[in-house]
Chain A
Amino acid sequence: MMADSEKAVLVQGLTKVFGGQEVLKGVNLEVPGGSVFALFGPNGAGKTTTLKIILNLLQPTGGKIEVLGMDGVARSQEIRSKVGYQPETPNFYYRARVENIFSLCRSLYPRWNQARVDRYCDIFDLPVRGRVSDLSKGKMTLLGMALAVGPDPELLLLDEPFTGLDPLRRRQLLQLLVEEMAGEGRTILVSSHQIQDMERIADRVAFMVRGRVILSRTVDELLRDEKKIRAAFSGPAPEGMEGWPGVRRVEREGSRLLVTVSGQVEEVAGRLSGYDGAACEGIDQTLEDIFINYAGEGLING
């Protein structure tokens, strides 16, 4: 496994053009070794494209990619022997039996942990002798997960790993990811819309909007620095607050103000308290709130 200080994935200035349309516009991403890294973004932000380029399924138009310390394009085959990948839409030979798919993958990888795969099959109730075409959407997702963890990967790339899963299975999967994969020091890079679920397990997050990474930080830092302050005033409310350092947005709630603050929470709260008859209350934000703030601004500002 990689040391925490090493970068499992390093993406610099990544661009991708599809049919004249620039889908990735200089993506920069650093995923530390051994971390659980969540990539959030609205539909069409470029998350799947980024993951596919990391795996060299898509060819980059420009920029630099290093995966597990290796050049992402020149040594892609070697990289793929150490990476487990679950695609957004799992594709298999539909007429094949599940056990045949396992058998094929076992023979393709230099290492294959069949004991782990068997255990996942038991936990997920996967019909090993059944045909792939008979599986439900959720079971397909779980089969994709069992295949992704089979090669004992150093890096796990998961693209919407909770698609079609009920809350029970989702919880099971999260527990397995945390206890087993992250517990063994493997790096996990997840693209997901299930922000609440990911908040429980992610160490770091990045927000992608319209082909750019607009923010990349640890979850703890983000939850500490991104707050809202609800302020009521007996006298007139301060003007031009949008220009204050650290203030991202000011919304009116009747006579009160709801101020979204980034980083300088203490300073803004102190400044507000200085106004005549001001009463301030700090409100914690969830990762989903923070994402919506940033992604919403990113979409509006382009």
Chain B
Amino acid sequence: MVNGPLMKLMFKRFAWIYWFILAFWLVGWGGIILGTTADVSFNIEKHPFFSIGLFIALIWGAGIFTREFRQGGMMEFVMARPVSRGEFYNTVLLSAAIPMMSLMFMPVLYTITLYPWYHYTLPLDRQLLMCLAAGAWVVVILLLGINIGLFAAVHSRGRYGRAVSAFILAVLVAVFMNISVGVQPVPGSTDWMSLQHPLPALAAALLPAALLYYLGRRRVERMDI
């Protein structure tokens, strides 16, 4: 369950992300229109939204609860009201997942709005499925980041928790950087899977998503605030 009033507040707090996405799209769109005059085909595979999304999801996910919990003290403010911990977790998660998904659907937005000038290389339904699969994997990484952040926030030995979390984050960022060095996705990676086999990639994301959701929620429900 999601808490409506809290969701409204979270949307307000994250308004800057939506403005960022809008600005990103407008600048990219204008750049493409102004930069080329020839009839060019639009290749969705060459736009590294997935890699960008993974980076943002990991870093943002790791900080989202920690910031509420430690720095702002807002978790205490909200949890002193009649809001369940499950509701709080779901609301924060959803408010972070929606902009991430929006970012993943940017290629589709580009192809639709650039249609009069460019041809896209893949049918639109295939693109939508690819973006959905990519979005699902970005949410998995967001959940992974949340779990890492919660581990660091509530670990009884704070320095140990933060050190372990920083190490895991660094390794994951290094892996993502390695994957995203080439423009073309590495065969076998989730990026490649999302592009080549979107439906199995989407299905494969559900299990880790469910597991990480459960672990994060359990942690929030049992943590001291």
Tell me the A residues contacting B by CB distance below 8 Å: 18-20, 52, 55, 57-59, 77-78, 80-81, 85, 87, 89-94, 96, 100, 104-105, 107-110
Contacts and interface: CB of A to CB of B under 8 A. Distances in A.
A109 B9 contact: no
Given A93-B72, A104-B9, A57 B224 contact: yes
Nearest to A20: B156
Nearest to A92: B77
A90 B72 CA distance: 10
B84 A77 contact: yes
A77 B85 CA distance: 9
Given A58-B225, A104-B5, A107-B4, A92 B74 contact: yes
A47 B40 CA distance: 70
A57 B13 contact: no
B80 A81 contact: no
A20 B82 CA distance: 30
Contacts of A59: 222-224
B84 A91 contact: no
Contacts of B9: 93, 96, 100, 104
A104 B4 CA distance: 10
A1 B77 CA distance: 25
A57 B156 contact: no
Interface residues of B, number: 23
Given A58-B224, A85-B80, 19 more contacts: A19-B157, A52-B225, A57-B224, A57-B225, A58-B225, A77-B82, A77-B84, A78-B82, A80-B82, A80-B83, A87-B76, A90-B77, A94-B72, A100-B9, A104-B9, A107-B4, A108-B5, A108-B6, A108-B82
B81 A109 contact: yes
Interface in B79-125: 79-84
A110 B81 CA distance: 10
A108 B8 CA distance: 12
Contacts of A55: 80
Contacts of A108: 3, 5-6, 81-83
A55 B72 CA distance: 19
Contact of A93 (B13, B80, B156, B222): B13
B180 to A, nearest CB: 34
Contacts of B74: 91-93
A80 B81 contact: yes
Nearest to A49: B224
Q: In the complex, which of the residues A90, A91, A96 has the most CB atoms of chain B within 10 Å of its own CB atom?
A: A91
Contacts of A81: 82
Interface in B56-81: 72-74, 76-77, 79-81
A77 B81 CA distance: 8
A91 B73 contact: yes
A189 to B, nearest CB: 14
A211 to B, nearest CB: 16
A234 to B, nearest CB: 62
Nearest to A81: B82
Interface string B1-39: 001111001000100000000000000000000000000
A108 B225 CA distance: 19
Contacts of B157: 19
Contacts of A52: 225
Contacts of B13: 93
B82 A110 contact: yes
B59 to A, nearest CB: 21
B167 to A, nearest CB: 21
A105 B77 CA distance: 10
Nearest to B5: A107
Given A89-B73, A92-B74, A77 B83 contact: yes
Nearest to B72: A91
17 contacts: A19-B156, A19-B157, A57-B79, A57-B224, A78-B82, A80-B80, A81-B82, A91-B74, A92-B74, A92-B77, A93-B72, A94-B72, A100-B9, A105-B81, A108-B83, A109-B81, A110-B82
Contacts of B72: 91, 93-94
A133 to B, nearest CB: 12
A100 B10 CA distance: 12
A4 B108 CA distance: 65
Contacts of A78: 82
Interface in B151-204: 156-157
Contacts of B222: 59
Contacts of A58: 224-225
Contacts of B156: 18-20
